[in-house]
Every structure is written in structure tokens, then in C-alpha cells.
Amino acid sequence: MTEPSPEIAGPGGVHGVAGPGPGEAYERRCRRLLRLAYPPRFLQTRGEEVLGTLLDLAEPGRTRPGARTVLDVLRGGAALRLRERPPLWDWVLYRLFYRRLPFRHRWWARDDIIGRFFVERLVLSWILLLLLSLLALSAFGVTVHNAQILFGWAASSYVLAWIDRRRIRRHLLAKHEFHPDGSSCVPRTDVVGDGAVPRPTS
């Protein structure tokens, strides 16, 4: 019985029928980890650079990042998100009343608006506001007994926000000077580090 020649046998096995090799699997999992940890804007500007660093530091034959690597990436992403996050009061007005954030936080708003689960974050904020209001009322001796009304309000709010999600997104993007596709209305703006730095056109 003849053995397959090296030219026929692919990196995953004979004829390349098997799955991807360790390097491809490691890169795919690193990309998934970076998407989880960092905001989209950071990945657009520096994602390939960070990915290259992870691949250079990987041990030969690994198919997934180690626990320390995962923790380092998650910690770095969390630190970046916290640095970019607007102050609490600005965030409350933005989240509950669609108030425009200060210009230095507009890219954070853009990532939030076009990100996944935007509607769910909106409704969750409304529910938290309602719960805080009920706690404040209970502190003054006022108790709401009919919980079904509250659950009904939360469900209807989610449905209405989901139906109107495209208009809400367009409205908030325009308020922060972005086009509906998420591109900036401000001419020639380069994203550097954790903020947007305008650069004059040539």
C-alpha cells in the first residue's frame, strides 16, 4: 500500500480533508477573543497588530490561547472600555433620554449604538430606572403590589424598542455626527488610541 505523497497530503491530513491546522485554529480563537474583549473601533485600527503579537508569542502546536493570555486580553479590553466610558450622569442621560454625549465620548457612543444587544441594553436601563424608582417609593412607605403590570411594561417596552430600533439607531448616530452606517460625518477624522483625533485634510 502506497503512502500519500507530501504534495497530496494537506496540512490537516490526506488531501486536506481534515480540519484546519493548529495555527489556523489558534488564530481563529484569538480573533474571537479580541472581538469579545475590545470595542469594534479598536479592532479596526489596531486589531491586526494585537493579533500579530498574540500569534508571535504563541507556543508551537497550540490550538487555543492559554488562561493567562485570555485574562490579559480581557483585562486590557476592560481597561480600555472603562477609560472611554462617559461619566455616570452623562451616561444616564444618554441611555434613558437619548441625550448627546460630550464630543470626546462620541466614538464610545458609536460603538454602543452599532453594537450587538443595543436594544436589550436600552430596555435593561429603563427597567433599572423603574426598579430604583420603586425602591425610592418604598423608602417613603409607598408599595406597588401588582408586579404583573411591571412585567407587562417591561415586555411591551422591549417590543416597541425592537420595532423602532432602526430609527433609534439612526437618530442617535446622527446626534453624535455619524452616518447611518457608522462612518463619521466629521471630515477626515483619524482614530488614535482611545479617542478620535481630527486631522486636517491635505
**Same domain assignment for residues 139 and 177:** yes
51 falls within a domain: yes
At 19, the pLDDT band (50, 70, 90 cuts) reads very low
Over 50: is that where the pLDDT of 16 sits? no
Domain boundary among 66, 84, 102: 84
Same domain as 175, residue 158: yes
pLDDT in tens, 153-194: 778 888 888 888 899 999 999 999 999 988 888 864 444 444
pLDDT recorded at residue 195: 42
Domain co-membership, 107 together with 143:
yes
Is 8 a member of any domain?
A: no
Spatial CA neighbour of 58 closest among 32, 28, 23, 31: 23
Regarding whether 189 and 107 lie in a shared domain, the answer is yes
Summarised one tens digit per residue, pLDDT across range 85-125 is 899 999 999 988 899 999 999 989 998 998 888 888 888 88
In a domain? residue 181: yes
Domain finish residue from 84, 106, 129: 84
In a domain, 155, yes or no: yes
Domain C-terminal end among 56, 84, 112: 84
Residue 8, pLDDT score:
36
- As a whole number, mean pLDDT of residues 50-76 equals 91
Task: Name the H helices within 8-146.
Answer: 22-37, 40-57, 67-84, 88-97, 106-114, 118-139
| Residue 192 pLDDT | 43
What proportion of the chain, given as a percentage, has pLDDT over 70?
78
Question: Do the beta carbons of residue 109 and residue 164 sit within 8 Å?
Answer: no
Q: What is the dihedral of CA 89, 184, 111, 171, to 10 degrees?
A: 60
For residue 7, pLDDT beyond 60: no
- Domain membership flag for residue 6: no
Q: What is the mean pLDDT of residues 32-44?
A: 89
**Comparing 149 with 164, which gets the higher pLDDT?**
164
Q: How many domains does one find in the chain? A: 2
The pLDDT of residue 147: 63
Domain that holds residue 76: 14-84
Question: Quick one: pLDDT at residue 158?
Answer: 81
Same domain, 97 and 191: yes
Residues 78 and 55 grouped into a single domain: yes
**58 pLDDT tier (thresholds 50, 70, 90):** confident
